[in-house]
Amino acid sequence: MPSVAPKASIAGLIASKPAITGAPAAGRVVRLHLNEGALGPSPQAMEAMRAVAERIDRYPGIDASGLAMALAGKHGIDPERIVLGCGSDELIQFLCLAYVEPGEEVIHTQYGFLLFPMAARIAGGVPVSAPDDGFTASVDAILERVTPRTKLVFLANPNNPTGTCLPAAEVRRLRAGLPDRVLLVIDAAYAEYVQRADYTAGIELVEATDNTVMLRTFSKAFGMAGLRLGWAYCPRPVADTLYSVRPPYGVNAPSLAAGVAAIGDQAFQDATVAHNGRWMPWLQERFRALGLEPMPTAANFMMLRFPAEPGRNAEAVRPLLAGRGILVREMAGYGAPEYIRLSVGREDENRLVVDAVGDFLNGANA
């Protein structure tokens, strides 16, 4: 036993972290396991970072108003209600630390983002899992688990890792069914990829209520995961609270500059979405032709089901793919061991993974 023990509420957190099995071969690595943007960052964002490089001896502005103003202009929202973070992951943790008292409950969905229950436990809260309807979040199941101790509800929409998506009417029904004292946090990290007329990222709910937060990120469609840049749109009191608990210089200057430039590069954003719109159906069609079951998805990743028999299952395919330098995500940590999750890559990467899976299913296990 260590001399100084951690909080009891975080015991076992490391054990709950999903692992990536198998070491990739030397040489090229195809990263399809973290849902990163297939086309990388905007060239304008790269140039903006280079331009600010000589000024990194200065702290960035506390309010990071340049990026807040750019986001506000793009989405037609109030810049003073935008809070920036080191990825939306940091904002998830800040929300739990700021609003969840020890013993209060945080509801998340069965196949939701694993950081939700982790952040709740770090804050001393009690995670409560609401069963999904298949692999889709169930509003009724969430509402059934609300108790007098419930303080916060996390909803990822589209959901990671399943790629499923609730329509706007269901999200509104969830907000209407929750007590006013419960903060609803809509994590819309993959909103840019959604091509559904009945979808909302949550902006109008934030505008209409004082107890809803929307989270967004630059890590996915903007291709800037390495910069760790996310943002929250909040009711004014929630924004003020988050500013009271976050570090004053939490987002670095190169990230802020890149974010402003990326927001302004609409042509690159359109190309990223179009690439996903082309290659996601292509991947799913090829996997179906191999006899596999890709799940429908509204994002830039999918869950792919493998047969149950040993040697042909999801556990067996990962080491083969890793041996060819192709990384995918295992789903056992989410309670779905028969699946892997993989994201859309560049054209050659997509063709490589289809060929490798085909070889695996045909018995070429090397």
- Residue 117 falls within a domain, yes or no? yes
Can you give the residue range of the structural domain that contains 244?
43-265
Do residue 275 and residue 356 come from a single domain?
yes
Query: Which pLDDT band, with edges at 50, 70 and 90, does 17 fall under?
Result: very low
Do residue 218 and residue 279 come from a single domain?
no
What are phi and psi for residue 222, nearest 5 degrees? -85, -10
Q: Which of 12-16, 33-37, 148-152, 309-313 has the lowest mean pLDDT?
A: 12-16
The helix, strand and coil proportions of the chain, stated in percent and rounded to the nearest 5, come to 45, 15, 40
- Check: pTM over 0.85? Answer yes or no: yes
- Residue 149 falls within a domain, yes or no? yes
Question: Could you identify the residue written with the tokens 């280079």?
Answer: 50
Q: What is the mean pLDDT of the chain?
A: 92
- Residue 256 falls within a domain, yes or no? yes
Considering only CA atoms, which of 116, 48, 79, 11 is closest in space to residue 334?
116
Q: How far apart are the first and last CA of the chain?
A: 43
Query: Which pLDDT band, with edges at 50, 70 and 90, does 9 fall under?
Result: confident
Do residue 198 and residue 284 come from a single domain?
no
What pLDDT is recorded for position 16? 43
Mean pLDDT value of segment 181-188: 98
Whether residue 133 has pLDDT greater than 60: yes
Considering only CA atoms, which of 129, 120, 110, 133 is closest in space to residue 335?
110
Structurally, the chain folds into a number of domains equal to: 2
Q: What is the CATH number of the domain that holds 128?
A: 3.40.640.10
Question: Could you identify the residue written with the tokens 């309670």?
Answer: 335
Do residue 172 and residue 273 come from a single domain?
no
- Residue 366 falls within a domain, yes or no? no
Do residue 232 and residue 91 come from a single domain?
yes
Do residue 98 and residue 222 come from a single domain?
yes
What pLDDT is recorded for position 2? 67
Q: What is the CATH number of the domain that holds 332?
A: 3.90.1150.10
| The last residue of a domain, from among 265, 293, 325 | 265
Per-residue pLDDT of 144-172, as tens digits, reads 999 999 999 999 999 999 999 999 999 99
Do residue 301 and residue 172 come from a single domain?
no
Do residue 17 and residue 80 come from a single domain?
no
User: Is-contact 35 161, C-beta < 8 A?
Assistant: no
- Residue 31 falls within a domain, yes or no? yes
Do residue 196 and residue 132 come from a single domain?
yes
Mean pLDDT value of segment 32-49: 95
| The last residue of a domain, from among 247, 265, 283 | 265
What pLDDT is recorded for position 365? 60
Query: Which pLDDT band, with edges at 50, 70 and 90, does 18 fall under?
Result: very low
| The last residue of a domain, from among 265, 281, 296 | 265
Which percentage of the chain shows pLDDT scores above 90?
A: 83
Whether residue 14 has pLDDT greater than 60: no
Do residue 80 and residue 32 come from a single domain?
no
Query: Which pLDDT band, with edges at 50, 70 and 90, does 212 fall under?
Result: very high
- Residue 89 falls within a domain, yes or no? yes
- Report the SS3 class of residue 231: strand
Do residue 156 and residue 285 come from a single domain?
no
Do residue 184 and residue 290 come from a single domain?
no
What pLDDT is recorded for position 274? 97
- Residue 174 falls within a domain, yes or no? yes
* 6 vs 93 pLDDT, higher one: 93
- Residue 130 falls within a domain, yes or no? yes
Total residue length of the chain: 366
